[in-house]
Each structure stands twice: as C-alpha cells, then as structure tokens.
Structure 1
Amino acid sequence: MPGGAWTGNDREHNDACHERWLEVQSRRTDQPSYRDKWFDEQCGGCQFWIALSGELGQDWGVCTGPGSTFDGRVRFEHDGCDSFALREDGSFG
C-alpha cells in the first residue's frame, strides 16, 4: 500500500463510525437493561479494554475479557458489563 498502512485518521470517516457504532455497539444509559453499577465500572477503566489506535481510540476499544459476552468486540469506553475488572493503576481509556 503506498505510504504505508492506513491509520484511520480521517475525521469524516471516524465521526461516521462513532455515530454508527453508538447505535449498534453500545447500550444507552437510559435503557432498562443498563445497570447503575456500570456508571462506575465503565469499559474504559477495565483491565481487559484495549483502546483502538488513532482518533477512534479516544472513545473506542476492544474487549479482551475472557468471561465477557463482549470479548473480541469493539466497545464504547463508557459502556459496561458484568465482567468488569478494575485496572490496578486506576487509569481510564
């Protein structure tokens, strides 16, 4: 590929992904299935959440939690699940 691998740093593309993924990859906090504890246990603070590179990595990452139903899926940093495991260093995102 000329110039190397595409890094995903295209604002229009990333904004479209963000909006599309919010609809299909993330649960809204006003949904009945969203649990109150997830406000404090968001994906971005889980030891199994790995941020994507580039601009999309500011809000999106991949779940690598072996016990999570989201293992291997792109997740919004503010979503949550019952397999949350706090990062030892307390970092987020």
Structure 2
Amino acid sequence: MGAVLVSGGPWAGDDRGHNDECHARWAASLNRPTAEPGYQDGWYDSQCGGCRFWVALSGELGQDYGACTNSRSPFDGRVRFEHDGCDCFAGREDGSFG
C-alpha cells in the first residue's frame, strides 16, 4: 500500500483526532507504565526515549513515539512510547533523550 498523499505531498501526521486515537491505542500496550505502583526508580534513567536504538517517528506523533530498532529487544520493529522501557536498554553516548 502506498503513502497517503495530502495536497500533493506525504501526509505529515498532523491530524489531532487521529493522533489522539493512536496514543490511546498504543498507551494500552506499555511495558512499564510510569503511573503503576510497581514502577522502579531505576527505570526512569532507562526509558525508550534515551535508548540509542529508539528512532522517533516523524510529525506530531514523533514527539512521544518512536520505533525500537534493537534486535535483542522483544519490541524490535514496534512503535514504543518514549517513556516506556525494556531490559535491553542501551543508553546514548551523549545522554540525549527523545
């Protein structure tokens, strides 16, 4: 299936309703929800957004979501929330996030 075109160019992902629906669906599959009682303090420093294998999506959704590209992670090839995490975290050398 080809890319969705709007006004002669690729869709930029700026449909608020669509993005809100995606966020609600994707948030339901978090591995480590920060609001859960069992969330460990050490996990704050190993969230997806700080992993060298996390690649942000483009457009508005890319402000919070990216794809995991770590072949060792169970989430490889899946869209992940930047504040989620897994046991295969690999921090960025520059310590950046997002």
User: Shorter-chain TM-score: what band?
Assistant: 0.7 to 0.9
Q: TM-score, normalised by structure 1?
A: 0.87
Structure 2 regions of 5+ residues with no counterpart? none
Equivalent in the alignment of 1:81: 86
Equivalent in the alignment of 2:48: 43
Distance of 2:76 and 2:61 partners within structure 1: 19
Equivalent in the alignment of 1:16: 21
> What RMSD in Å do the two structures reach over aligned CA positions?
1.6
Q: Name the SS of the counterpart of 2:17 in structure 1.
A: helix
Distance of 1:89 and 1:42 partners within structure 2: 15
Q: How many residues align?
A: 91
- Cα offset, 1:16, TM superposition: 1.2
Q: Name the SS of the counterpart of 1:61 in structure 2.
A: strand
Q: TM-score, normalised by structure 2?
A: 0.83
Structure 1 stretches (4+) deviating beyond 6 angstroms? none
Structure 1 regions of 5+ residues with no counterpart? none
